[in-house]
Amino acid sequence: VIDFYHGRGYSILALTDHNLCTYPWQTWDRDPEALGMLALPGNEYSRHDHVNGFFLCYETSSNTVEQTLDEIAAQGGIAHLNHPGRYWSPDNDQVPPDVLDKYVTWYSDYPPELLVGMEVFNSINRYPEDILLWDALLEVMMPERPIWIFANDDMHYISIVNLFFAGISWTVFPTNELSETAVRNAMVNGQFYASTFGTRPDAPLTWNAARVPVVNTIVHDAAAGVITISAMSNGQPLPEDDYLWISGGEVVATGSTLAYRSTPGIHNYVRAQLEGTSGTTFLNPFGVLTESGTLSVFIGPPDAVYAGAKWSIDNGATWHESGDELELAPGNYTITFSRANAYRAPEPIVATVYDDEATVVTAEDGAEYVYDPSLQLPVSGPAATLALCLV
């Protein structure tokens, strides 16, 4: 197994056997330093929902996740949950509330320095609902409590009849040095990404790691609210349409650059998913601290306001007077206009609200009614009556 991964160009390898610490490699006459590799001690604790422990060579008879995590903490290790999809089933493509509560409790009770994340991709994506759970957890827990993504081989056989069960899902650590300290810090801080052939399980003979996107740079312009990613696939820049930005489990934008403050649909997190011809690369989520801005609409002309002109951003559920100011989360909003006596209403206007800024829409921006006497509204109120009194 060590020779296989070394031959594939891996530089970091954790052999996490079931309830057994397979370390050090010298036991099998392999020297990591001579191979130019970093060997991480670890264990897959599997007498309960499976948990991977790293940076420790510790065995236990614990049969609960809670006890195991407590013992990993006491030994100075860190952990992530393995293939949670093995233990639950979706309900109409949703995570059942009791299942979500179970994982929210674990990630709430244990700090991110200990329980760093979860295995979202297992081998050839054996548990495809894991990504559903990951997004559901991110919606609940980000940005205060990140849950980082891991992709693992869960390799029990290197190959069967020339079909490899190793080198399918992997995690990339762009560290400056090959050391336990550097990898551990990256694991805790989410400074890594996960790649897999598991999103292309139907064509294993075409799998090529060079055609799975590799990240070059990630740049965050906090002042502008913009994240820019540069990635390569098969030696070429990744096409713009192959950058997907996801929030709430839905694609909210495409392209290498995301203006997250003005992109509709972004909740408390956003993550990038890079599509290659042989597989997919998943970046760890970015937490979004949702601030607010203001939106005001000044309707013209004044006579239209007197005639009943109003505006709304929710298709008329609530109408606002000209000049009203609303506090809103950053994003794009469609402004619609009410009917007004003898006036033609403007067409809807799309306005962008920015963090900590005031957006003002006026008649010059299209909030201008046009006088049209043919649009007289029916008289409302009680019917008038005429009484004749004959004397």
Q: In this predicted model, what pLDDT tens digit does every residue of 195-251 receive, in sequence order? A: 999 999 887 878 899 999 999 999 999 878 899 999 999 999 999 999 999 999 999
pLDDT at 44 over 70: yes
Spatial CA neighbour of 42 closest among 26, 70, 20, 62: 20
Q: Where are the alpha helices (DSSP H) in 112-262?
A: 130-141, 180-189
pLDDT in tens, 256-312: 999 998 898 888 999 999 999 999 999 999 998 867 789 999 999 999 999 999 999
Q: Residue 19: what are its φ and ψ, rounded to 5°?
A: 55, 30
Task: Please report the pLDDT score of residue 267 as a whole number.
Answer: 83
Q: What percent of the chain has pLDDT over 70?
A: 95
pLDDT at 161 over 70: no
Please list the residues that pair with 221 across neighbouring strands.
Answer: 226
Pairing of strands 115-122, 148-152: parallel
pLDDT at 30 over 90: yes
Q: What percent of the chain has pLDDT over 90?
A: 81
Inter-residue contact 68 to 45 (CB < 8 Å): yes
Task: Say how far apart CA 221 and CA 272 lie, in whole Å.
Answer: 16
Task: Please report the pLDDT score of residue 329 as a whole number.
Answer: 81
Task: Please report the pLDDT score of residue 238 as a whole number.
Answer: 98
Task: Say how far apart CA 212 and CA 204 lie, in whole Å.
Answer: 13
Cα three-residue angle 247-174-192, rounded to 5 degrees: 30
Task: Please report the pLDDT score of residue 163 as a whole number.
Answer: 67
**What does the DSSP 8-state code read for residue 327?**
E
Task: Say how far apart CA 225 and CA 222 lie, in whole Å.
Answer: 5
Query: How many CA within 13 A on the CB side of residue 99?
Result: 19
Task: Say how far apart CA 255 and CA 243 lie, in whole Å.
Answer: 5
pLDDT in tens, 106-138: 999 999 999 999 999 999 999 999 999 999 999
